Amino acid sequence: DYSVLDAIEQALGRVAVVMPEGRCGSLRDVCRLSLKAVGEFGDLMREVEKSVKDDLVTDREMGRVQVEGYQAIAAIMTLIRAMERR
């Protein structure tokens, strides 16, 4: 349970991400992880677009943006971590 760390990070204006394990075995892995990161970022942008469409962002919409944002960050960090461990 990272709720205490999450609260500290939020208070400091930071985001913590669980660092994934794994290695990048081939160029195919890099491509796959890159496409995953791009896809997650696309999901984030779609959620942002839906949320601001009416010039009002509800708490529920903000929650969905946060979830998508954290998933995008995690996908990017997975790619970086895998390449570091190649």
| Confidence band, pLDDT 50/70/90 cuts, at residue 2 | confident
For residue 22, the model assigns a pLDDT of 61
For residue 18, the model assigns a pLDDT of 77
**What's the rounded Cα separation, in Å, for the pair 64 and 18?**
19
For the stretch 20-74, pLDDT in tens is: 776 667 888 889 999 999 999 999 999 999 999 999 999 999 999 999 999 999 8
CB-count exposure of residue 40 (10 Å: 0-12, 13-18, 19+): buried
52 versus 80: which is more confidently predicted? 52
